[in-house]
Amino acid sequence: MFPLLVKKGGAHMSLSKDSLENIEEVDSTVSFVLNGEVMTLNVDPSKRLIEIIRDDLNLTGTKISCEIGRCGACMVLINGKPQNSCLTMAYQCEGKSVVTIEGLSKEKLDPVQQILLEEGGLQCGYCTSGMVVSVKGILKQCPNASFEDLREGLSGNLCRCTGYGGILRSLERISKECTVKKQE
């Protein structure tokens, strides 16, 4: 029997599909920090983070495409790390910090976005939010990321338009202009 994980009283527990009729008994409140704001939401325990972000909160900068963790269009930062929101259940965000593309560029474009724009690193733009979020996550974890680090870190982000030339040019510039150079 395929188990479903749901959270109740701070602990995870398994439910079989036969138990789904009792789902209303499960505590479905989730609290997390989204783009710097504390949120407490009542969520269906079967909902994924991508659905909450896009459908319930109308933050449509995060895109959805493959829905199976292959394309990176749905990338968000969870506790600073890039994660596919199509593979993340909403309840798994309890007590965590979630940042979407909207949280990265509140007043003006983030420097990573600006460089992608200047270097022609996007065409239709559908993959771009995920790329920017992934790059920001890599830079958070590795402030001195090299071009190779960035290229490898973006291996889970697919673009169907650009042929990658503009994206690679952008990564070259990001590795020079958005990293913290080590003081020797």
Of 73 and 145, the one with the shorter C-beta distance to ligand FES is 73
What angle in degrees, to the nearest 10, is found between the helix axes of 111-118 and 165-177?
Answer: 140
Instruction: Give contact residues for ligand FES (rule: CB under 6 A).
Output: 64-67, 69-74, 84, 86, 122-128, 159-162
Q: Report the DSSP pairing between strands 37-42 and 11-15.
A: unpaired
| Residue 136 one-letter amino acid | K
Closest listed residue to residue 74, CA positions, set 66, 63, 82: 63
Of 90, 87, 5, the closest CA to residue 47 belongs to 90
Cα dihedral across residues 30, 31, 33, 34: positive or negative:
positive
Q: How far is the CB of 83 from ligand FES (least distance, A)?
A: 10
Distance CA 68, CA 138 (A): 21
> Whose Cβ is closer to ligand FES: residue 81's or residue 160's?
160
**Is the CB of 126 or the CB of 147 nearer to ligand FES?**
126
Backbone angles phi, psi at 169, to 5 degrees: -60, -40
Min CB(33)–ligand FES separation in Å = 22
Closest distance between ligand FES and the C-beta of residue 66, in Å? Answer: 4
Q: Which is nearer to ligand FES, 15 or 159 (CB)?
A: 159
Q: How far is the CB of 54 from ligand FES (least distance, A)?
A: 11
Residue 59 CB, nearest approach to ligand FES (Å): 15
Residue 44's region, left for phi above 0, alpha for psi from -120 to 50, else beta, is beta
Between 4 and 161, CB nearer to ligand FES: 161
